[in-house]
Structure 1
Amino acid sequence: MKIRGISLVKKLLATALFAPLLAVASGPELHLDKAPVSTDPAALANGAKLFVNYCLNCHGASYMRYNRLQQIGLSESMIKDNLMFTADKIGEPMRIAMQREEAKVWFGAAPPDLTVIARSRASEFGSGADWLYTYLRGFYRDSERPTGWNNVIFENVGMPHVLYELQGEQVAKVTEADDGHGGKVKTIALEQGKPGKMSKEEYDKATADLVSYLVWMGEPMAETRKTIGTVVLAFLGLLFVLSYLLKKNYWKDIH
């Protein structure tokens, strides 16, 4: 009885450990489009403009200060005249006026802060940039949702499509097929319905710029860090060569 009890406990522990993994493995595969992330200052500046005009109304970036935008080539006057709508001083964070408690009442949940959204999505899906790029291009009309919108990779999303005037309205064509195990696999194909202000190519470029800015905002010093790392490795390589030559010269009479 004692041995059987231990065996049963082991089975229960194994089930508890691996059940979440099995649940994930059995879920639908998430297909993400490759995001053309750019570090070009013009692309980042356009992404910052889109972020301020379309995202900063509900989503804050409280760990990002306006004066950081000077790193992507924007002057202080350009930032103050065109991008500072939620602050008085250029050194202030990119906060919003909406209170979290009010947001929970209005939307059911407070919109998340977007300062490190690209990095947080990367921890969940492998590439935060790819997830954001697919998400921003994956909205479609759904009359059953309170906002009238749904998303191909974020089913029953609570956020409306804030960029719809640029992209227009997409319509979902849903098909179901057998998965070979007695279940159904749902596939959603999007078709352009009501056109927006931009063509598909223009909208893809705009969302790529916005995603590039979100990636940059999560770590503004990334490019500087890479440059410093390259210089340090080059210095260590040179130091190794000099150390080796010194060692050979020091031990030449012994060897």
Structure 2
Amino acid sequence: MPELPEATTIARDVAALAGGRRVVRAAAFDESVSNVAPGEFARRLEGETLRGTGRRGKAILLDFGSVVGIVHLVISGRVLRLEGWREPDRIHSAVLEFEGGAVLAFTRLWLGYFELYPPGEVENHRLISRLGPDPFSEEFSAAYLAEAFGGRRASVKGLLLDQSLVAGLGNIYVDEVLFAAGVHPMRRAGTLSAGEIERIHAATRRILRRATELRGTTFDSYHDAFGERGRFQEELKVFARAGLACPECGSEVVKMRVAGRGTHVCPRCQPLN
């Protein structure tokens, strides 16, 4: 699933390709793609200008002035530039053509969506309304994490994956953050010291910023809107490296399940006890 760096990259790509341009044609494949019927989807977007793009958590926001598109790619979805117009189908879930000829396809939205909301109602969206602070916001501080973790018996990994606690983190980056902080994913959040929490906070921002600079992490389905792979997978320390040597100490990276997710850890750099 695209996480914060990938969603940021795609939002910026869409702005680069279509920002300031008017929608001349829009179509959705069927009723499963959006919260409005295909005919209404086209009616509300055609003639509108893409004024800007953004991100909330893992969702991409497209500002068309009178309406905001909320795109959630979930696991398989992608946004791709096409050479020309094509009618939407089961793969190309929604297609937008902009003046000047730019065509964007929102593909494989089988679990995701491209929903339309009035600007004043975006914060009431069922996903966005439940999100915690963005990792780059002022609200997301070491003090905030200390309060959120205080007295909690849940694993620190499970809490960092909770979008209501912090928005945009997913499995890849939580593993990398905890490795960088030297904290075992199974640690009960309430047992973390102030120093450990500060390291988690700093690593979260540092790793997400670096992953965004490298345009995300590609293993399988993720590509940016230009069809290019991300490059942060080249800098991963533990994620997807089970059985390989830890780049810091040489110990074998181990894979286990924590909070219901495949989890990668260096037992020496991230001791549980």
Which bin holds the TM-score, normalised by the shorter protein? under 0.3
- Bigger relative CO (Cα 8 Å, ≥ 6 apart): 1
Structure number with the higher helix fraction is: 1
TM-score (norm 2): 0.24
Q: Which has the higher strand share?
A: 2
